[in-house]
Amino acid sequence: MIVLKCNSAEVQKSRLLHLFQLIPFIGMLILVFSLSACRQAAPPEAENESMLKVVTTIAPLYSFTKNIAGDSVIIENLLPSGVGPHEYSLSPEDARKIADADILIKNGVGLEEWMNKLIGSVNEVRGDSEKLLVVDTSKGVDIIDNDPHIWLSPRNAAIQVRNIEKALRKSDPGNEKLYAKNAADYISRLEELDREIAESVNKWEVKEFVTFHSAFSYFAMDYGLKQSAVIEGSPEAHPSPRHIAEIMNNIRRSGINVIFSEPDASHKIMDSIAGDLGLRMYSLDTLGSGDLGSGWYISRMRENLETLNNALGAKWTR
């Protein structure tokens, strides 16, 4: 696979947040705890006080957790919509959310390296008795080359849902039956999505594709597709003419006639490759960030499937 590096919008946006790195984490936490103390002067809502507080890192995990827990827990998400998950920097508001949380649900596979330092600090401030339960939802997923984009395969999503369900049942045994039922219902909807994708893929003539950044390895593996080239977002490197030439040669050789950009990606390089080779360009969402809602994950995955159907299912020549 050819990997071509350039600045993605994900990365550029997250750079804006690097300012917050200047604030020492412990200082941030002291501030957070003082603010929490001030907030408690106002009478908290009684039902909220007894409810489990859960923090998710990215939108798919929010969606999964919301489906399992409904309104039985308070769920907050860290990454704002439109901000890429790879090089994020925590804000003081994020530190407050984590400091207040009972459970922190993360993707894992190195995606949230930007968070590790803070979790250590949270546990130091809280003391051993009040350790934050950190759930790594990638547990049990077959990892490909340390690629964190596991959520883009509904089969992996089902494993992530099971991991979240397990943590919620353990932490809140009073609602155990509810969580088990909701998780089973949601997994059956994921299985339906999985069947839809598999049926669509069977009809596609072209099973090879080029994407903006390396996000679709798990999707490709589960459905017998080939992510044959990637124009990958990276903070340190602009694409060299040599890499662009390699990608273009690869596309010419393979007979690929479509390329996939992303909603937030810089389209310049994609535009020029598509223009030079006469390729059609489509946009696929990597779901690294997005709207927070229970229906969001499955409906966004269906929109991606529709795009793929239009791009790979249609008969046409270059």
Amino acid at 255: G
Return the number of the residue (215 or 311) whose C-beta is nearest Zn ion. Answer: 215
CB of 225 to Zn ion, least distance (A): 17
Contact 189, 215 (CB under 8 A): no
Q: Which is nearer to Zn ion, 101 or 284 (CB)?
A: 284
Nearer to Zn ion, 218 or 282 (CB): 218
Contact 211, 230 (CB under 8 A): yes
Smallest gap from Cβ 234 to Zn ion, in A, equals 11
Q: Least CB distance from residue 215 to Zn ion, whole Å?
A: 5
Q: How far is the CB of 48 from Zn ion (least distance, A)?
A: 34
User: For Zn ion, which is the closer residue by CB, 141 or 215?
Assistant: 215
User: Which residue number, 90 or 215, has a Cβ lying nearer to Zn ion?
Assistant: 215
Tokens of 146: 């340390």
Q: Which CB, 65 or 214, lies closer to Zn ion?
A: 214
> Which of 47, 44, 119, 57 is CA-nearest to residue 83?
57
What does the binding site for Zn ion look like in residue numbers (CB under 5 A)? 215, 286, 288
Q: How far is the CB of 31 from Zn ion (least distance, A)?
A: 31
Angle, in degrees to the nearest 10, between helices 116-126 and 25-39: 50
Q: CB-wise, 288 or 290, nearer to Zn ion? A: 288
Residue type, 32: V
Min CB(88)–Zn ion separation in Å: 11
Q: Which residue is nearest to Zn ion (CB)?
A: 215
Minimum distance, C-beta of residue 263 to Zn ion, in the bound complex (Å) = 12
> For Zn ion, which is the closer residue by CB, 152 or 158?
152
Amino acid at 149: H
Q: Measured from the CB of residue 149, what is the shortest distance to Zn ion in angstroms?
A: 6
Residue 161, both tokens: 């849902």
